[in-house]
């Protein structure tokens, strides 16, 4: 048994297709199929049930995959630790971001990071938050930067979540975004013209992200906490699109401050805090508890934290509803 065998079997299990796995591994489909058959012959068990579509693991295959992932994680940890010891600062890190967070975070982080670690290959994956968590647990990502919420009611594997560790990067405020004059005076929080009362706005037509996005999970938990059922009339996969739709009067939305900057719609909308006390969420670095964090990975966290801790996102009163960025 060698590392190539482990990688090949794990890749086929991930894609549930020999053809797709072969494309990912840059080898021919017949060669990979022959390789798997040879491994199965050597082990004396069948790892994949080829009668199903997509390809599925047998019981023996499930056991193989469990140990293979552990071995690959240990090998990866060893390589990173030895690289740190040698101080050659060459290697790679595999980083995950939610879709739009890449747009504003990477351009601020990577220039400083590449200056400090020019020899590190930074591989970026971008997808929904739940897929990023899955990638971390499967060893496909070293870490991800995202707002993470542990929502057991959504059916997550609680045992898997116990294998996750977090590092706080920064926190950001969430805002209600609506077209001009959609939010009436009676919707405002008592004593604060710059904030809405969540219970009073529950019947407005909300544009939310689809299930699986970190923001959707957070908002579901927020409204559940206050025992409020919002009127979700549209679900999409883009915060920026939600902002643009809100600016056009097609519902209202709740997004982080930076999204409003990206959507460039601050002059066209009214922007409100969600309560008399601002609602904020933490942006975290998420990684496996059993993973060794290299100097290169630790530095990525530090640089991200330094960049965003220096930034604050402020807004004027409802009449102007402009988001301003100050860098200190």
pLDDT tens track for 85-142: 676 567 889 999 988 888 888 999 999 999 998 888 899 999 888 889 999 998 899 9
**In this structure, which topology does domain 85-170+283-312 adopt according to CATH?**
D-Maltodextrin-Binding Protein; domain 2 (3.40.190)
Indicate if the pLDDT at residue 150 is higher than 90.
Answer: no
Share of the chain above pLDDT 90, in %: 54
Take residue 124 and report the two structure tokens written for it: 């970026």
Residue 291 or residue 320, greater confidence: 291
pTM of model > 0.85: no
From the number of C-beta atoms within 10 Å of its C-beta (0-12, 13-18, 19+), residue 93 rates as buried
What architecture is domain 173-281+313-327?
3-Layer(aba) Sandwich (3.40)
User: What pLDDT is attached to residue 322?
Assistant: 37
Span(s) in the chain for CATH 1.10.10.10: 3-62
Q: What pLDDT does residue 163 have?
A: 85
Contact 139, 71 (CB under 8 A): no
Domain 3-62 coded CATH 1.10.10.10:
yes
CA distance readout (Å), 294 to 133, 185, 289:
20, 53, 13
Q: Above 50 in pLDDT, residue 256?
A: yes
- For residue 219, give the H/E element and its range: helix 214-225
pLDDT tens-digit map of 272-281: 999 867 888 8
- Domain(s) labelled CATH 3.40.190.290 in the chain stretch across 173-281+313-327
DSSP per-residue string spanning 130-199: HHHHHHHHTTS-SEEEE-----GGGT--HHHHTTEEEEEEEEEEEEEEEETT-S-GGGEETTEEEEE-TT
Query: Comparing 195 with 148, which gets the higher pLDDT?
Result: 195
Q: Residue 242: pLDDT above 90?
A: yes
Q: What CA–CA distance (Å, rounded) separates 123 from 91? A: 11
* Mean pLDDT calculated for residue range 298-303: 94
DSSP, collapsed to helix, strand or coil, labels residue 325 as: strand
Where does the chain hold its CATH 3.40.190.10 domain(s)?
85-170+283-312
Task: Return mean pLDDT, the chain.
Answer: 85
> What is the mean predicted confidence (pLDDT) over 153-180?
77
Does residue 324 register a pLDDT over 80? Answer: no
Q: Is the pLDDT of residue 309 over 60?
A: yes
Rounded to an integer, the average pLDDT of 178-205 is 91
pLDDT of residue 176: 95
Q: Does residue 2 surpass a pLDDT of 50?
A: yes
Distance, in Å, from the CA atom of 311 to the CA atom of 306, rounded to the nearest integer, reads: 9
**Predicted local distance difference test score (pLDDT) of residue 105:** 87
Contact assessment for residue 176 and residue 272, using Cβ atoms and an 8 Å cutoff: yes
In the chain, pLDDT over 70 holds for what percent of residues?
Answer: 88
Stretch 70-94: mean pLDDT, rounded?
A: 81
Can you tell me the mean pLDDT for 169-192?
Answer: 90
């Amino acid at each position: 048994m060698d590392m190539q065998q482990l990688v090949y079997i794990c890749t086929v299990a991930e894609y549930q297709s020999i053809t797709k796995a072969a494309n990912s591994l840059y080898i021919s489909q017949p060669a990979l199929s022959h390789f798997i058959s040879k491994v199965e012959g050597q082990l004396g068990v069948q790892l994949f049930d080829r009668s199903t579509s997509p390809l599925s693991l047998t019981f023996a295959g499930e056991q193989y995959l469990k140990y293979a992932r552990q071995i690959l994680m240990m090998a990866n940890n060893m390589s990173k630790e030895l690289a740190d010891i040698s101080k050659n600062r060459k290697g790679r890190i595999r980083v995950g971001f939610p879709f739009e967070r890449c747009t504003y975070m990477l351009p601020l982080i990577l220039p400083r990071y590449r200056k400090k670690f020019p020899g590190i290959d930074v591989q970026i994956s971008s997808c929904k938050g739940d897929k990023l968590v899955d990638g971390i647990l499967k060893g496909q990502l070293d870490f991800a930067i995202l707002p993470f919420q542990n929502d057991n009611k959504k059916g997550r594997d609680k045992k898997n979540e116990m294998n996750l560790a977090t590092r706080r990067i920064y926190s950001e405020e969430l805002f209600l975004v609506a077209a001009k004059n959609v939010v009436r005076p009676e919707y405002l929080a008592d004593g604060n013209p710059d904030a809405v009362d969540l219970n009073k706005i529950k019947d407005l037509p909300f544009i939310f992200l689809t299930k699986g996005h970190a923001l959707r999970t957070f908002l579901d938990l927020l409204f559940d906490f206050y025992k409020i059922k919002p009127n979700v009339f549209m679900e999409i996969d883009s915060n920026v699109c939600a902002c643009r739709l809100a600016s056009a009067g097609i519902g209202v939305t709740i997004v982080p401050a930076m999204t409003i900057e990206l959507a460039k719609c601050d002059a066209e909308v009214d922007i409100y805090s969600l309560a008399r006390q601002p609602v904020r969420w933490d942006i975290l670095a998420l990684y496996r508890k059993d993973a060794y964090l290299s100097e290169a990975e630790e530095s990525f966290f530090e640089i991200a934290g330094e960049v965003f801790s220096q930034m604050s996102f402020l807004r004027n009163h409802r009449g102007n509803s402009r988001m301003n960025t100050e860098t200190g």
